[in-house]
Structure 1
């Protein structure tokens, strides 16, 4: 895995990447040795996806949280990316791990003629309050290893996962299911920061820096047997010049994307 981001967040001490490093975190070629899960068995794999709080997620998410979990800059980065770059006219969209907002600009669903915006998340009140959704389903993707999304094959043009990939304890199964419900040439976008509920994030995530996070998401997509191609990462963070470098200010924001081949 890549490592060694060049600066530290002065507030959290978390390593932050220099400009361009996130983009270079995805290998141009992958082999079995690139798989962070390959060759692990039993307790070794369990430790990668163990969490400080292993209690059922249904209890943790029982009460709605009508708040953003990153700062205003990062929210605007997500909204700009989703609304201005990811979504296209007449798309059908699946917002996995959805909540009270999908970061789709008001009126854009109608403006683009989006056929469908389905949300799948953990809290009914949050999903019901989401103005972008045309339908929603409550489902716990961590409940067991037999993940099966309640959608037909090839139902969507876009799958997006925002600020939730770090909590998935069956990420390969979820990515494989995302591929199943995508049409050929459909797009997946996984957006993430380094802000999280520490007790619910998996060990593979909490012990890593942001470069490793991007690499890990890329590996999920590459090794889930979902037929994803064109895997790429992009740094969406707000940056300001300090000395000779443009450094991240506020909460970072990144996206890893791929297409279904």
Structure 2
């Protein structure tokens, strides 16, 4: 897949509406002890983290769940998760600490400035109804030059994904994520890439560094 083209997006409030506008906390209340992508796509996510996350760094797994897909052969000083289900994160053996927070209700992160050396958002960016505000505050809690790895696939809870996401194809979704990062105003060196394995679920990534 080529990401050479440039696309412009005109987004309105309707762009972030969802089929299910019910309480997200109720939707995620029941824990899901499953992976949301298949093993090949998981390996692709893990490889990205191996390439971009600094060893011995403090890592933020934003929109975390039961699995974080961090490489088992790498050591980090601390891994913090922020997600919607306490039981899922309590059973995530890669997390040292975690916070339950609905980013669609409260986009400001409960962390101090310049706390993290890297962050990942795995197959979840499509659920944010105010992604620019979340990404802007994420830049606040990350150190200058820290990498952010955002991954997505074609598996999702369609009723909770935003209209903007559902109306685009995979290639265009990478450009949408890039648009969010540019609008946030605190990222540079934005890369879009196709890391799909030969078989199974596709896996795409948008990687940036905090300016």
Normalised TM-score (structure 1): 0.77
Contact 1:36 1:219 in 2 (8 A): no
Partner of 1:102: 68
Tell me, which stretches of 5 or more residues in structure 2 are unaligned?
none
Contact 1:95 1:117 in 2 (8 A): yes
Partner of 1:3: none
RMSD between aligned residues = 1.5
**Partner-residue secondary structure (3-state), 1:258:** strand
Partner of 2:187: 228
Tell me, which stretches of 5 or more residues in structure 1 are unaligned?
1-17, 28-32, 38-44, 240-248
**Mapped partners of 2:143, 2:196: distance in 1:** 30
**Mapped partners of 1:105, 1:164: distance in 2:** 19
**Mapped partners of 1:66, 1:90: distance in 2:** 28
1:85 lines up with 2:64 in the alignment:
no
Contact 2:54 2:118 in 1 (8 A): no
Shift of 1:105: 2.9
Paired residue for 1:218, among 160, 175, 178?
Answer: 178
**Mapped partners of 2:124, 2:138: distance in 1:** 14
Paired residue for 1:179, among 126, 139, 147?
Answer: 139
Contact 2:194 2:203 in 1 (8 A): yes
Shift of 1:115: 1.5
Alignment coverage as a number of residue pairs: 211
Normalised TM-score (structure 2): 0.95
Contact 2:48 2:149 in 1 (8 A): no
**Mapped partners of 1:185, 1:77: distance in 2:** 23
Moved more, 98-107 or 52-61: 98-107
Partner of 2:102: 140
